[in-house]
Structure 1
Amino acid sequence: MPRPLVPFSQYVIKMHARCDLACDHCYVYEHADTSWRGKTRASTEAVLARTAERIAEHARAHRLTAVHAVLHGGEPLLAGPALLGRAAELLRAALPADCALDLRIHTNGVLLSPRFLDLFAAHGIKVGISLDGDRAANDRHRRFADGRSSHAKVLAAVELLRRPAYRHLYAGLLCTIDVENDPVAVLDALVALEPPRVDFLLPHATWDQPPKRPAGMGDTPYADWLLAVYRRWEELGRPVPVRTFDSVHRTLRGRSSLTESLGLDPADLVVVETDGSFEQADSLKTAYDGAPETGFTVFEHTLDQVAAHPGMVERQSGLDGLAEQCRGCPVVRSCGGGLYAHRYRGDGSGFRNPSVYCGDLMRLITTIRDRIAPVAAVPAQDAPGAVLTDSQLDELAAGHGGADTVRALARAQLGLTRRLVAAVGTASPAWPLVTSLDGADTAALDAVLAHPYTRAWAVRCLQGEPGADLGGMAELAAAAALRAGRSFELALPVRSGAVHLPTLGRVLVGGSGETVLTGDAEGFAVGGRRIGWDTPADAHWQPVRRTALADGWTPALEDTDPQRDSHQWPVADRLPDDEYLAWAGALREAWELIGRDLPGHAPGIRAGLSTLTPLRPGPAGRDVSAAARQAFGAVGIARPATAPTLALLIAHEFQHVKLGAVLDFHDLYDRADERLFHAPWRPDPRPLEGLFQGTYAHLAVTEFWTTRVRAYDGLRNGPAQHARVQLATWRAHTAASIATLAGSGALTPLGVRFAERMRTAVEPWLAVPVGRAAEAAAREAAAENLAQWQARAAAAPR
């Protein structure tokens, strides 16, 4: 049976086929492939327009929620601002409305200027820069053709990106490894530039043209170099995400890699050359002349045809496409055979060889595997009572809440969960293991106690709800002990044929009742099945999957924990791989949008939202989301059709999470007041907490639509008018409900102050012009809602 086609979601678009540097390690100009000599120097509008059409056609056919495009070269800045801007315009205009575009440019930085950055800001183009470290390291290879240093110009480019006006465009730094450079000096130089991310690349090489291995550096100099960087990175507290290290960590736990050079995820990248020809990954230029060519062009062929090219299919074949000795390797799920190009040997075996860096990759991965520590958790807090300062409460009341404020809420929530678990736990046979962990391995225990659904389980037990039992204590004890690397044996319940380990995943063992789990530092065994930390997901082991997003946020997509069914809408079953990938793509784009459109919300979300629980789709045409009052740190969402909607739902639901946490420790209203009130967005009467929660959540909704309306300033199209109606509606609803709260007579002095801060936050949004039609539509919706509410109130028994 033919393998299903893997659609392309990543595109490298060559804007210019020449470069203003003469880097001697460049795979385009200095390796086996010489096709650059025959390429058009710069792309043309015709090529770019047809490229945009092909990408849009492919996105529609495969219902892609996001595509990622990199403007590349040669040196893409040589193409000039006009052509770069036109490329962005064509791509954005062609893509369907429900498909987001992540657009970036990768440059050596030599020509970067405010003129370029203003253009990139206007078009939402993020900038990645190649830099190999300090001046000595960078100038070993990255020089001008006459031998001059490029370092000062590249540093000037990075300093431009670090300015407040351009900081949001700064995508990261890419560093090609040279083992003769000082690894610590290289990392320190890069970290000093405060990049959002660093990539370390092995220099491109094959078995025919192997990488240099200087005398006296041992058999694995590249692993040794990267491990020296890794140790320094840990000493510094992991100050920036490093794609290589993050990918090793993820793949060792059965998750997807962040780079094509590691892991077994299918490649979904295609290159468009300046002449419109489709090519495979650029790295293949290091193998042999013409290696990346497909024979296809944007003018004559679809991207589905390109995806079916034998070379593309081979790069997507995962474990089946590896050499026999790779398939039996203990770290193959992390290594993935290394970068495809690095396997090439011209003796007829082609790419069916281990990587030329095989020994280095083995040493790197196994050493990191043995060093991985339990996930750090929020420190415990045992003291009840008020947990926020006045300034932190004011910050939250204005609708936001920075990282420190949300962490304070999280600490308080963890302390509350500890007390609830203790109230449940003393009768459980697993309680002694829990108490033994609380000391030497507190971080491992707290990582599980901070899981949102731990508290949900404890509350269910204390309230005597059906299905809540002490088996949950054994599950959390086992998960914490495994995180701590403890050796232990424990009986765990089998629920719906599975053994559940909160924050880690579940093992499908079949049956019901109990089974014995034995754990140690290397993993665990249950039901006759051994699971190690490098065991990949399969038909039996279903790990919790995390999605690494920009700025180091890695929320879990929780689809294994039985306690997750804590929301008002039913939860989805375990996501198939294709649906998980769709979720991950949508999340990446939604997080970018939150950072851009709701910057005041992003730090708090990153600090406090650990878990997204997929819900089943709601009624046709209705987006479904929820926050559970007893599950701080989690929101439930049915994946919507567009990334902007997902961004809005995340921000909206996290407002509920924050306010619920505040209400656990601070009185904002008289809890004895049982009156019901009109909420302008609902036809049913609401109690005070419900009105307060809805009002607070709609601060984020109103801010979202305010940003959208400002972005559409001057436009009169359908999306622009829709945004204006939404803003008119939600700001009116929010202002009205704040007035209802303030006039209720039920607010405490702190609640009055909180409501006043909310009112102050809304005031600027009330002044944003939306036009008479939008205002009229908002008034009509409000009147219809009020009529429904009055009808219900009149019909209610007295």
Structure 2
Amino acid sequence: MSGTVPFSQFVLKVHSRCDLACDHCYVYEHADTSWSRKARAASDAVLERTAGRIGEHARTHRLPAVHVVLHGGEPLLAGPDRLRRAAELLRAALPAGCALDLRIHTNGVLLSRRFLELFADQDVKVGVSLDGDRLANDRHRLFPDGRSSHAKVLAALALLREPEFRHLYAGLLCTIDVANDPVAVYEALVAERPPRIDFLLPHATWDHPPTAPEGAGPTPYADWLLAVHRHWTAQGRPVPVRIFDSVHRTLRGRSSLTESLGLDPADLVVVETDGTLEQADSLKTAYDGAPATGFDVFAHSLDEVARHPGMRERQSGLAGLAEQCRACPVVRSCGGGLYAHRYRTGGGFDHPSVYCGDLLKLITTIRDRTAAAPAAVPAQQRQPLTDRHLDELARGLGGPDAVAALGKAQLELSRRLVTAAGAAGNSAAWQLLTEVDRSASGALDAVLAHPYTRAWAVRLLGGDGRADLGGLAELAAAAAARGRVGFELLLPVRAGWLHLPTLGRLRVDGKAEAVLRGTADGLACDGHTVGWDRPGDHRWQPVRRVALPGWTLALEDTDPHRDSHQWAPADRLDDAELLAWTGALGEAWDLLGRDLPEYAAGLAAGLGTVTPLAPGPAGRDISAAARQAYGAVGIARPTTGPVLALLLAHEFQHVKLGAVLDLHDLHDRADEGLYHAPWRPDPRPLEGLLQGTYAHLAVAAYWASRVRALDGAGGDEAAAARLQLATWRAHTADAIGTLDGSGALTPLGRRFTAGMRTALAPALAVPVGAAAERAARAAAAENLAAWRAAAGRR
């Protein structure tokens, strides 16, 4: 890798000893013994210098947020004063605009009201280790004298669930012991009402393989987890489970939620109590000194640590895996497993995970269960959106389930459109597509779900000259490459490039067509081979992806059909512009999570592509959504993160409603009336008015959040926010009234306007002051007068 991947996650060891003697602990019970030589607690000097280094790193790389876990040993042994000091120093050191996600991971036995009051004051989220019911927990998690820790942990969790502290509860971490009953363990954890459960494979290597009961099958850990998965699914997935959610996400080409799965580059560094900087703690299970880098916070910057060979190796993605892993059909989901679990003396980490068989069975079984579920219902009886989904969407929202249902329906629509296109076209490409569908249907789905696949198919079937049957060959080659299906196919060369949707483009000069071959080593053309999922050389330009906490999206600047939006797309982003986009998206995502969390959850589930647009007229922010490109929005990068957050929320409203309109009629499509849209000077057809109204629900909610955040503040920013809220809520309310009075809505359309009115009510209740109200009314009156004049009305 040529570039340095900055750290955004930090583990800060505040105490190096523990009050329990868990026999599965990787710090004290595995190969590394460095804990015995560390200071018991981090000194003020270590805390100050660590905070300074993190702040320096955030400033250098313009990080929108950093995530810090206070750890140990047992971090509560450091005491309230030292923990408060750490939190205050970290927060003070970060540059303006960089958020701090601060957490503590504890065994819970010392967790008290005093600690929780401190954590509430410092906004520190709390994760607790618990291995299940008392029988399961006491197999390993005991005090040094053999006493059970279970009752103390349950008491701590009861305290954490109290209303004043519930918002601090980050979740439970459970280390798997396959001797325990999986369903009993799961039920014991769910009984503690955690916001998330994280099941962890016990650390092991090829030198010290994981233990299993006598007579267990070849994949005991997969079998244990799959028993939990079956029970969890039957219950309706009542709580997020990180390992299952990560498998589901990576199977769909999204980022993992854990370092132990997926191919996302590792971006974590550990700061020990003496200030030494180390790689991930899990490496302590490999050999003595395995996590060491030789660096410390006093003498070295974090950029120096990021260039350490061990760090680089953990950031090398597919290229850094063993040959056996690279050839595996589930490698993009598995990612080779946790780096530490690949270790074997004499061969280092160049091996599959010691849990390889378990991971393969876990991923393929979850994939097959997920794929098989919809087949139980005949297609003609399938209703993509339930009443609950429709009610959520009517209120302008739509959580992950509702948005996922929209995505599935859109995927089916794209499949039908591509089938119609393929029926008339390139037989070799069509044969390859059907082969991939048989052997790697998930790879084909990833290409069919690409927003501009549908745009190409609609153009082709509609006779638009911008699309040709060469697009079918491009789709087939991209799907085959993703599914590791060997192929040889003739592709068109467009303006000097071979295009592979979702993957990128390959430079081929002087030809109208070129033969592309897919091999185990990558993609080969004219004697030149590139790995499509590696950074590549000057001839290969991959689609770049931005991985944010809980959201991964593509910055699409290669697809020829990205011109589907009303504005011209930008050319390929250079490194500086890519960095600027990455920072802006990170800042916007943090703002959406803070100010519009109810919109952000659906956005993360359904918006997978942002297409950079060429800058608009001076002083004007431009953005667009295309009806035939579900899952994408086009935006010219604005100058501030808040504007980008607002544009993302606004445009994704159009994306959602367009998908709903593909499934349901909300209005009489024969209605030819033109209606007043308070935000535009020109009359609008009913669907245009409906789209604008729906999008502006998010705009009104955004400004309501800003006004509440600035409550009591004076100055231009607060006054501007109040005026924006007064304007957009009035516009939206007026438009809802126009829709209701149109007489052209279907029953479901009326249900949507009722939902929009309910959704707008909180924004209407926020006080903005008389001056803002008067200015908003005056602007609305002026707009209405101009519209009436243009329409010849009085």
TM-score of the superposed pair, with normalisation by structure 2:
0.76
Are the equivalent residues in 1 in contact too, given 2:252–2:446 (CA < 8 A)? no
Contact 1:170–1:196 (CA under 8 A) maintained in structure 2: no
- 1:428 corresponding residue in structure 2: 425
**Would you say 1:564 and 2:562 are equivalent positions?**
yes
Matched, 1:400 2:394: no
- Larger deviation, residues 468-477 vs 613-622: 613-622
Match of 1:348 in 2: none
Contact kept? 1:683, 1:786, Cα under 8 Å:
no
Per-residue CA deviation, residues 524-577 of structure 1 (Å, 9 max, x unaligned), is 8653679899964523666656666666x6555544433233123343455678
Query: How far does residue 291 in structure 1 lie from its aligned partner after superposition?
Result: 7.4
User: 1:70/1:446 Cα in 2 relative to 1: closer, same or farther (>3 Å)?
Assistant: closer
Distance 1:136 1:358 in 2: 33
Contact 1:23 1:142 in 2 (8 A): yes
Task: Give the corresponding residue for 1:349.
Answer: none
Q: Which residue of 1 aligns with 2:349?
A: 355
* Residues 739/330 of structure 1: CA separation in 2 closer, same or farther (3 Å cut): closer
- Match in the other structure for 1:769: 767
CA distance in structure 1 between the aligned counterparts of 2:695 and 2:488, rounded to whole angstroms: 45
* Structure 1 residues 793 and 518: alpha-carbon distance in aligned structure 2, compared to 1, 3 A threshold: same
**C-alpha displacement at 1:150, in angstroms?**
2.1
Alignment CA distance shift 1:411-1:367 (3 Å): closer
Alpha-carbon contact 2:242-2:257 (below 8 Å) kept: no
> TM-score scaled by structure 1?
0.76
Q: Secondary structure at the match of 1:308?
A: helix
Q: Residues 27 and 281 of structure 2 are in contact (CA less than 8 Å); yes or no, is this contact kept in structure 1?
A: yes
Q: Which moved more, 1:391-400 or 1:234-243?
A: 234-243
1:307 aligns with 2:303: yes
Larger deviation, residues 433-442 vs 742-751: 433-442
2:708 corresponds in structure 1 to 710
Q: Matches of 1:530 and 1:289 in 2, distance apart?
A: 41
**What SS does the aligned partner of 2:349 have?**
coil
| % identical aligned pairs | 56
Q: Which residue identity is paired with 1:360? A: V
Report the residue type matching 1:457 in the other structure.
W
Q: For residue 270 of structure 1, report the CA deviation from its aligned partner.
A: 3.9
Residue 102 in structure 1 maps to residue 96 in structure 2: no
Equivalent residue, structure 2, for 1:495: 494
Point out where structure 1 has 5 or more consecutive residues left out of the alignment: 346-351
Write the distance in 2 (CA, Å) between the matches of 1:192 and 1:529.
60
SS at match of 2:457: helix
1:56 aligns with 2:55: yes
Q: Which residue of 2 aligns with 1:196?
A: 196
Residue 32 (structure 1) shift: 4.8
Cα deviation code 1:335-363 (max 9, x no counterpart)? 78974799698xxxxxx961397672666
Tell me how far 1:315 sits from its aligned partner. 3.0
Letter in 1 for 2:460: C
Secondary structure, aligned partner of 1:601: helix
Partner of residue 726, structure 2: 728
Change (3 A) 1:588 1:188: farther
Count of aligned pairs: 772
Quick one: which amino acid aligns to residue 659 of structure 2?
A: A
Q: 1:793 to 1:718 in 2, by over 3 A?
A: closer
* Partner Cα separation in structure 2 for residue 586 and residue 131 of structure 1: 38
What amino acid is aligned across from residue 605 of structure 1 in structure 2? L
Alpha-carbon displacement from aligned partner over 1:644-681 (angstroms, at most 9, x marks no partner): 5554433322211122233343143665435353433x
Q: Is the 1:124–1:169 contact (alpha carbons within 8 Å) kept by the matching residues of 2?
A: yes
> 2:692: which partner in 1?
694
> Is the CA contact (8 Å cut-off) linking 1:518 and 1:526 kept in structure 2?
yes
Q: After superposition, what is the alpha-carbon deviation per residue over 1:295-318, rounded to whole angstroms, capped at 9, x for unaligned?
A: 755xx66x7x34326x96333343
1:54-93 matches, cutoff 5 A: 54-79=53-78, 84=83, 87-88=86-87, 90-93=89-92
CA contact under 8 A between 1:137 and 1:181: conserved in structure 2?
A: yes
Tell me the distance in 2 between the aligned counterparts of 1:153 and 1:356.
42
Deviation at 1:180, TM superposition (A): 7.3
1:199-219 Cα shifts (integer Å, max 9, x gaps): 5355378x9xx536769999x
Distance in 2 (CA, whole Å) between partners of 1:214 and 1:58 is 41
Distance in 1 of aligned mates of 2:363 and 2:761? 53
Q: Secondary structure at the match of 1:128?
A: strand
Indicate conservation of the 8 Å contact 2:198/2:242, yes or no: yes
State the alpha-carbon separation in 2 of the partners of residues 641 and 120 from structure 1.
35
Q: Quick one: distance in 2 between partners of 1:676 and 1:313?
A: 63
Uncovered stretches (5+) of structure 2, i.e. residues with no partner? none
User: For the Cα contact (< 8 Å) 1:284–1:292, is it kept in 2?
Assistant: no
CA deviation after TM superposition for structure 1 residue 699, in Å: 0.8
**1:691, CA displacement in angstroms?**
3.1
Taking the aligned partners of 2:226 and 2:528, their CA distance within structure 1 comes to 30
Tell me, in whole angstroms, the C-alpha distance in 1 between the residues paired with 2:166 and 2:500. Answer: 40
* Alpha carbons 2:342, 2:354 under 8 Å: kept: no
- Answer whether contact 2:678 2:783 (CA < 8 A) is retained: no
CA 1:344–1:621 in structure 2 vs 1: closer, same or farther (change >3 Å)? farther
CA distance in 2, matches of 1:228, 1:48: 43
> Which residue of structure 2 lines up, in the alignment, with residue 318 of structure 1?
313
The SS at the match of 1:12 is: strand
Cα pair 2:422 2:430 within 8 Å, conserved: no
Query: CA shift at 1:190, angstroms?
Result: 6.2
The residue aligned with 2:472 is 473
SS at match of 1:467: coil
Moved more, 399-408 or 651-660: 399-408
CA distance in structure 2 between the partners assigned to 1:718 and 1:455 by the alignment? 45
CA offsets per residue over residues 618-647 of structure 1, 9 Å max, x none? 567765432112222322345566665554
In structure 2, how many angstroms separate the alpha carbons of the residues matched to 1:128 and 1:356?
32
Q: Name the structure 2 match of 1:737.
A: 735
Letter of the structure 2 residue corresponding to residue 318 of structure 1 = E
Q: What SS class does the counterpart of residue 726 from structure 2 fall into?
A: helix
Closer, same or farther: CA 69–423 of 1 in aligned 2, 3 Å: same
CA distance in 2, matches of 1:394, 1:99: 36
The one-letter code matched in structure 1 to 2:396 is: G
- Aligned-partner Cα distance in 2 for 1:267–1:236: 31
What's the RMSD between the two structures over aligned residues?
A: 5.5
> Measured at CA, do residues 106 and 571 of structure 1 come closer, stay the same or move farther in structure 2, by a change above 3 Å?
farther
Counterparts of 1:302-701 in structure 2, within 5 Å, are 305-308=301-304, 313-318=308-313, 331=326, 339=339, 354-355=348-349, 360=354, 376=371, 393-403=390-400, 405-407=402-404, 409-410=406-407, 412-414=409-411, 416-418=413-415, 420-421=417-418, 423-430=420-427, 433=431, 444=442, 448-479=447-478, 490-503=489-502, 506-510=505-509, 512-516=511-515, 527=525, 536-539=534-537, 555-573=553-571, 594=592, 597-602=595-600, 604-616=602-614, 623-638=621-636, 645-664=643-662, 665-668=664-667, 672-675=671-674, 677-680=676-679, 682=680, 686-701=684-699
* 1:98–1:641 Cα contact (<8 Å) kept: no
User: Is residue 34–residue 290 contact of structure 1 (8 Å, CA) maintained in 2?
Assistant: no
CA contact (8 A) 2:505 2:540 kept: yes
Work out the CA distance in 2 between the residues paired with 1:404 and 1:257: 18
Aligned counterparts of 2:496 and 2:460: Cα–Cα separation in 1: 22
Partner AA of 1:704 in structure 2: Y
Q: What letter matches 1:307 in structure 2?
A: D
Partner Cα separation in structure 1 for residue 782 and residue 410 of structure 2? 40
Task: For residue 657 of structure 2, give the secondary structure of its aligned residue in structure 1.
Answer: helix
Give 1:12's aligned amino acid: V
Mean Cα deviation higher: 475-484 or 333-342: 333-342
Q: Deviations over 1:308-330 (max 9, x none)?
A: 26x963333439999x9988776
Contact 2:524 2:530 in 1 (8 A): no
Helix, strand or coil for the counterpart of 1:703?
Answer: helix
